[in-house]
């Protein structure tokens, strides 16, 4: 350390071991003291996803209860986007808002093309499709034996707003 100039790096923590919960001397991107997030149950997560998509002007939102028929997840949420840009915007909104709530998905499929994007949250799988893709693959017919759930009657999880800088 050059005493005339001060410490070599301005990002060096002021305290080597900050107290738990403190953000002293931490780079904002490497905050290791985040509070534990609560796990959202599958039905509430599916309803929250449907509500977020509805708020972003998605259409033909269907919530299928596939637990007894397929066993790969509890719910499929099928969402129609108007075009590629809209599909990617829906993906971004779901990814950012749910990640901030502590919900992480497996690696996303189809985001590069924006034709059909699949987000797998474990118990809930989200299908974001453009109108043409939804007509072509006809997932509604494919899962017609699975009961549908009226997501508008379900209470979504309360999500904190995400600052624009984190989007």
Spell out the residues 6+ positions from residue 151 whose beta carbon is closer than 8 angstroms to its own: 46, 47, 50, 51, 61, 63, 77
pLDDT of residue 139: 93
Q: pTM for this structure?
A: 0.74
pLDDT of residue 29: 44
- Ranges of residues in the chain whose predicted pLDDT is under 70: 1-38, 163-167
pLDDT of residue 165: 59
What digits encode the pLDDT tens for the residues 7-47?
A: 444 444 444 454 555 444 444 444 443 334 457 899 999 99
Domain ranges for the chain: 1-35, 42-166
Q: Are strands 124-130 and 59-65 parallel, antiparallel or unpaired?
A: unpaired
Q: Where are the alpha helices (DSSP H) in 60-105?
A: 84-100
CA distances for 125 relative to 20, 54, 56, angstroms: 36, 17, 19
Structure tokens, 17? 């071991």
CATH (one of 3.30.460.10, 3.50.50.60, 3.30.70.20, 1.10.240.10) for 42-166: 3.30.460.10
């Amino acid at each position: 350390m050059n005493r005339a100039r001060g410490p070599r790096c301005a990002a060096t923590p002021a305290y080597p071991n900050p107290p738990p919960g403190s953000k002293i001397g931490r780079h904002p991107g490497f905050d290791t003291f985040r509070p534990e997030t609560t796990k959202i149950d599958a039905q509430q997560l599916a309803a929250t996803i449907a509500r977020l998509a509805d708020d972003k002007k998605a259409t033909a939102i269907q919530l299928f209860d596939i637990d007894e028929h397929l066993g790969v997840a509890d719910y499929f949420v099928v969402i129609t986007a108007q075009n590629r840009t809209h599909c990617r915007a829906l993906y971004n909104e779901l990814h950012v808002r749910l990640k901030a709530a502590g919900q992480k998905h497996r690696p996303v499929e189809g985001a590069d093309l924006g034709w059909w994007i699949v987000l797998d949250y474990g118990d809930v799988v989200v299908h974001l499709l453009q109108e043409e893709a939804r007509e072509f693959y006809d997932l509604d017919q494919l899962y017609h034996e699975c009961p549908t759930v009226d997501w508008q009657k379900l209470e979504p999880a309360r999500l904190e707003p995400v600052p624009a800088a984190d989007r």
